[in-house]
Amino acid sequence: MPDLLDQLNENQRVAASHIDGAMLILAGAGSGKTKTITTRLAYLISEVGIAPSNTLTLTFTNKAANEMRTRALKMLGDAGKNFTPLLCTFHKFGLLFLKFYIDRLGRKNNFVIIDTDDKKRILKGFESNIATPVLASEISNFKNSLLSVEDAAHHAAIEIDEHKFKDGYYARLANIYKLYEEYLAANNLVDFDDLLCLSYKILDEDEALAREISQRYAYIMVDEYQDTNDLQYKLLKKLCLTHENIAVVGDDDQSIYGWRGAKIENILNFKDRFKDVKVIRLEQNYRSTSQILRAANELIDHNRNRLGKELKSTKEGGEEVALIESDDETMESLKVAKRIKKLLGSGVAASEIAILYRINALSRSLEDGLNKEKIPYKMVGGVKFYERAEVKDVISYLRLVANENDDFSLKRVINRPKRGLGKISLAKIEKIAFENKFSLFEAICALDESDKELSKKIVSSLGEFAANLRELKECDSPYELVDKLEAKFGIKKYYKSLPDGAERVANIDEFYATIKDQIKQDPSFSIEEFLNEIALQSEQDNIGGEAISIMSIHASKGLEFEHLFVIGLEEGFFPLLGYSNDIEEERRLAYVAITRAKRTLTLSFAASRFYRGKRERLDASRFIAEAGLVAKEPPREQSSGFSKGELIKHKLFGIGQITAVNGDRLTINFGGISRVIMSNFVEKIGTYE
């Protein structure tokens, strides 16, 4: 296949024709990384003569795996008809491996994989006052950290001895972990995390097998290497036990998943973890104009923790990066909507336009603005604001205040927050309602503690629920109602306990703020009319036809658009200080956002936002200045006010000691478990003597 490498640029060609030894391909956004690694796979098989069965290519998504497989097989032509190289996700590899070798753990190979919902259903079967999503998340963390049931129990014992967790949180967690693992083993089930951690365990305990598997997969490639976690790195090291023919492709500047366990250190330290590593930089960008790339390069150059590269455009010139400055979020959404309307009017297809934001709560004002201008949109990788579970809960409570006989709304929130009401208890109440021709609310009000059908605890809890609803009906104003709703039902408190609680609470706050803002603007404001408008919007959303895309920046990874808008570029929102891992990851996220744009890029910021119940004055994001778009000195990073060695207290993890400080990011030792926590989530209690 003499023309296999002809379609590549010089650096792509060097990477694709590399045979033996470790290689790091630093592939910038839009630099043709998929083309490069699929060509390398085809080259190894068709030109070098490597057997397809001796290759292993690992990705993170089935979509990426399928795309690469299709491209590689097309290049291979007849050579790929009989032997298909193994090209799959990490977890698919784990599944295939366990089918052959799980017997080494005394398990049968006819195991069943359970999904997230199955996992939660199993956990719900164990009595615990720890929220099920929290249990699921913590157990997942245990497995990805290769902590056994015994390890978890040991940590719990240490913490009890040192009185670090007075409520015995980790002891209870360790016990549930034990029960959960026993249940999986007894029923021959494996969860998603097991696919990797059990595979690693087998290879770690059997060196002869590890050598055999390593020799089988003599040439390994890994896509999106910057997104690998500790366990995936350790698994790769086992697969490279007999060789170091590993080629990884990734971009340290696009490492944006630290919050879910990805370790940027894996790509930053690759040169130190393997011998004689060949480093190739793919800097030729085929996606964006030079103006867009100039902003991206200048921005990311402010990060210190990076390997360094500079994207160069194949498209010279292009429009300047545009800035939109608005007084508030309403004005911002209208300005953006009008610019999009102009683009659509000039013949631009809706599919070529996208709007990105850092936090999902910002979509509310944006969606309102698009609806007002009758611009159809689709939410990518997320849920529309008024359809998010936590927002729908608040809406249901408000509907019940307006109409206590709204059975649909009552069924949605009757056990949210938890009131000890199960399916059986609800069925009994529904029976009472049916027999007496009552609404569910009337049935609840008719309950008597002497009734043996339901426990006294449930009857009491439901009685309090009904009384609170009736009290809210007496509120003098919608403003008072919104304030009292949270005080009476604690919806935010309920969602705050979940793993993604901060984001859900932000959405609830945004919803409350929206109502309060509308009340201020319109003294005759009616909550009922407002709720009806929301319902009408939802119906209109179902109308077909072409639509623009709106999404979070995380959801935009891997996508590209001719015309791109990024909103909410203000200090505190983007960068999102206090929630994110660190300022450098926030900057990488901004870099990812900018490099999604092909032809035009518009960045938007507002002087104020109504957020979490109050209107806040805001400064433009430092990223705008750092990208060279305004001549303003960016704000300096501030110290967290914490020092190494200090004792702190965390609401979930208890007391710990700070072992390292990196800006707002604290590394804390909680009874032998090291965690990285943002400084505003802990309080200082002293130092060790």
Report the catalytic residues. Answer: 33-34, 223-224, 254, 596
Contact between 59 and 305 (Cβ < 8 Å): no
Residue written as tokens 């909103």?
A: 567
Q: What's the farthest any 2 CA atoms get from each other in the chain?
A: 87
Can you say whether the dihedral through the CA atoms of 121, 127, 129, 135 is positive or negative?
negative
Q: Which two tokens stand for residue 404?
A: 């206590």
Measured CA to CA, the distance from residue 115 to residue 121 in angstroms comes to 10
Q: Which two tokens stand for residue 484?
A: 């009292």
Cis peptide before 133 (omega within 30 of 0): no
Count the residues in the chain. 689
Measured CA to CA, the distance from residue 100 to residue 198 in angstroms comes to 12
Q: Which two tokens stand for residue 150?
A: 């015994």
* Helix (H/G/I), strand (E/B), else coil: 632: coil
Measured CA to CA, the distance from residue 548 to residue 80 in angstroms comes to 39
Pick from 350, 263, 255, 317: nearest CA to 562:
350
Can you say whether the dihedral through the CA atoms of 76, 81, 82, 86 is positive or negative?
positive
- The DSSP secondary-structure symbol of 15 reads H
Residue 59 φ/ψ region, left for φ over 0, alpha for ψ in the -120 to 50 degree band, beta for the rest:
beta
Pick from 608, 530, 592: nearest CA to 253:
592
Our CA dihedral for 282, 557, 132, 487, rounded to 10 degrees, sits at 130
Residue 464 one-letter amino acid: E
Contact between 280 and 24 (Cβ < 8 Å): yes
Residue 245 one-letter amino acid: N
Name the helix (H) or strand (E) containing 260: none
The dihedrals phi and psi of 166, each to the nearest 5 degrees, come to: -65, -25
| First vs last C-alpha separation in the chain | 71
